[in-house]
Structure 1
């Protein structure tokens, strides 16, 4: 199992969350088997999300989706996100 971590700042959490929730069908269609959203304790607009995939290839393909990039723009993501992949040990 591979987990994709993405951390970014958003302009408004409530707006971002609506776009994120509306994107679930795309997540499922592209191999996301589980997901979670976290907010920094001191800044609710500092968001980290995790998406689990069966393989690292699926995670990498998801990260390259044009639909994902468009959703991030629509959700008010500020700047470039920090992205990393992990395998469960």
Structure 2
């Protein structure tokens, strides 16, 4: 299993979550098998998203879609603050 981890600042969690829920690039159709959203207890303007995939290539492809179709548009990412920090991790246990 592979996990695409995304961290970034946000303007407002409600606004961010509504945009996330619209799912503009189709998580399930792109191979996402599960997702988790975390928020630091000391920073309400930051989120950590983890998206699970069966294959490494699926995670990389989805990341490319996010960069090309979501993060560069204020319409699809209205609450985004700054550039997201990303990494693809392989499950080690």
Q: TM-score, normalising length from structure 1?
A: 0.89
After superposition, residues 26-37 of structure 1 pair within 5 angstroms as: 26-37=26-37
20 and 72 in structure 1: CA distance in 2 versus 1, 3 angstrom threshold: farther
Root mean square deviation, CA, Å: 2.0
Which 5+ residue runs of structure 1 have no aligned equivalent? none
Which structure shows the bigger proportion of residues in helix conformation? 1
31 and 4 in structure 1: CA distance in 2 versus 1, 3 angstrom threshold: same
After superposition, residues 70-85 of structure 1 pair within 5 angstroms as: 70=73, 73-85=76-88
Task: Indicate conservation of the 8 Å contact 1:20/1:75, yes or no.
Answer: no
Say which is worse superposed, 5-14 or 67-76, in terms of deviation: 67-76
Q: State the distance in 2 between where 1:73 and 1:30 align.
A: 17
Q: How many residues align?
A: 89
The C-alpha deviation readout for 1:42-61, integer Å capped at 9, x for no partner, is 11111000000011110000
Matched, 1:41 2:41: yes
> Where does residue 5 of structure 1 map in the other structure?
5
Q: State the distance in 1 between where 2:34 and 2:59 align.
A: 12
Q: TM-score, normalising length from structure 2?
A: 0.85
Which 5+ residue runs of structure 2 have no aligned equivalent? none
> Where does residue 18 of structure 1 map in the other structure?
18
